[in-house]
Amino acid sequence: MEVEVVSKEFIKPSRPTPNHLKIHKLSLLDQFFPSLYIPLVLYYTVNEAEEATRKAKHILPLLKQSLSETLALFYPLAGKINDGLSIECDDEGALFVEARADFPLPLLLHQPDLETIAKLLPCPAAWAEAKAGDRVVMVQATAFACGGVAVSVLISHAAADCASFSTFLKGWAAMARKSGGAPHPNFDASSRFIPSKGLAEEDSMSAIYLPFLKTSRCGTRRFVFDSSAMARLKAKATNSQVQNPTRVEVVTALMRKSIVAALNKVSNLEKPVGMILPLNIRRRAVPSFPDDSTGNYVWVMTVLCSPEEKDNGLPDLISRYREIKDKVDGPFVKGFVGDGGSVMLSNAVREIGESFAGVQDQVTITSWCNFDHYEIDFGWGRPAWVSTVGFTEEMQNRPTDFVTLLDTKSRKGVEAWVFMGEHELHVLEQNEELLEFASINPSTLLTTHG
């Protein structure tokens, strides 16, 4: 299945950025996270051939015009990475690639092919670090033979976390629909989380990742928990101490348990695994930060997973997960605010490093659920599927094994995209408890209601 690039251009904001906003300061938490490009792909089907022909004539101009108008509001996203302190809002815009696929979209949706999905990106930079001079945002719109279209977006983590990414996409879609209610993103993060003029590497996320750098061949597996499996999994995860577990809680617990078992089996060593669980802190602040606060409003919870966890019940794991999450409360978040934030950050990173001493492997499980990705309608309906992207040959030096959780279309199930070494994935995909609830890379057409 081939994808051909038709054209490349830069979409500039519809109006210039005011001079006093030309340099966008990164916040302390922006500096903490690596500037990796986060990838997301939205797939839109068109069923009627006549309608497909009609819409194809205005889909691309509409995407470009509405993106231009949206970038005027999200002005740092029209800029380039300057250094570890700022983004230069030069108004050169976002890279926009137009591409054409020689096959119908339903073929890809019927049997998702991870290598083909990677071809839908504007460049092979997913999960790679954005360097000085790189654009903050890159987009590709791929037209399929059936009239369907895929919109893929890469955005640097330096400018946005997953919640901000979603705010941007929903704002872009609303602008395309001309539905009113334009977003009003807030870029005041640097006034809350005061940046450090020289954030030391030992105080960054890299310090947590680097001891566990993986150079072995990485693979990707997509495990899908549909609505019926989710109901059974929630029932298994419920007891008198753990009531009403969420989708994210039960899938995180099961993936955590299964991955620890796989890593220990491959290494033939019974050693603990360090687990990183990013958490949106907007609503954990007191008072809470607005949902349209743009930038990185995330902290990383950590837990040491013992080899014995393979024998633990899901309720026990969820109970521990809730205890850790409860520690990220109002006073904790307040510690990052103001001039004392850099000291708080340094102490927190040091504590994480000490807790992970002697750990052989590290895994990050991040949730992109409940960000309304399936509500992103540019004017021709909601997505048939939303995915991330697997690792390619260019992405082999990954900082850590990790798992990304996404909603299924019904929002009643969860897709778990797992990025690990091929040997570990081979063991993981044979885990009987995991396979009791999850299907490996099923057709998205079969999981529409899952």
- 261 and 361 share a domain? yes
- Answer with the one of 192, 222, 240 that is the final residue of a domain: 192
Which of 299, 304, 257 lies closest to 403, judged by CA? Answer: 257
pLDDT band at 434 (very low <50, low <70, confident <90, very high): very high
Q: Is residue 198 part of a domain?
A: no
- 183 and 69 share a domain? yes
Expressed as residue numbers, the domain containing 174 is 3-192
Q: Strand order in 23-25's β-sheet? A: 23-25, 86-88, 80-81
Instruction: List C-alpha distances in Å: 274 to 259, 278, 304.
Output: 11, 13, 5
Sign of CA dihedral 231, 233, 236, 242: negative
- Give the pLDDT score at 269: 84
Q: Is residue 351 part of a domain?
A: yes
- 275 and 300 share a domain? yes
- 179 and 227 share a domain? no
For the stretch 34-69, pLDDT in tens is 999 999 999 999 764 445 445 556 889 999 999 999
Strands 37-44, 149-156: pairing is: antiparallel
Mean per-residue pLDDT, 114-118? 92
Burial 239-259 (b: 16+ CB within 10 A, else e): eeebeebebbbbbbbbbbbbb
Q: Exposed/middle/buried for 131, CB within 10 Å: 0-12, 13-18, 19+?
A: exposed
- 149 and 266 share a domain? no
Mean per-residue pLDDT, 242-264? 96
So which residues are the catalytic ones? 157, 377
| 342 vs 212, more confident | 342
Q: Is residue 401 part of a domain?
A: yes
Q: Is residue 350 part of a domain?
A: yes
- Give the pLDDT score at 392: 62
- 173 and 300 share a domain? no
- 64 and 151 share a domain? yes
- Give the pLDDT score at 336: 97
- 301 and 358 share a domain? yes
| CATH at 383 | 3.30.559.10
- Give the pLDDT score at 417: 97
- 186 and 214 share a domain? no
pLDDT band at 400 (very low <50, low <70, confident <90, very high): confident
For the stretch 345-355, pLDDT in tens is 999 999 999 99
Question: How far is residue 159's CA from residue 26's CA, in Å, rounded to a whole number?
Answer: 8
Among the residue ranges 209-213, 247-251, 393-397, the one predicted with the least confidence is 393-397
Answer yes or no: is pLDDT of 98 > 60.
yes
Say how many residues make up the chain. Answer: 450
- The total domain count for the chain is 2
Which pair of structure tokens corresponds to residue 139? 């987009």
- Give the pLDDT score at 210: 83
- Give the pLDDT score at 199: 82
Mean per-residue pLDDT, 408-417? 96
- 316 and 173 share a domain? no
- 174 and 281 share a domain? no
Among the residue ranges 19-28, 33-42, 214-223, the one predicted with the least confidence is 214-223
Question: How far is residue 442's CA from residue 450's CA, in Å, rounded to a whole number?
Answer: 11
- 263 and 132 share a domain? no
- Answer with the one of 159, 192, 225 that is the final residue of a domain: 192
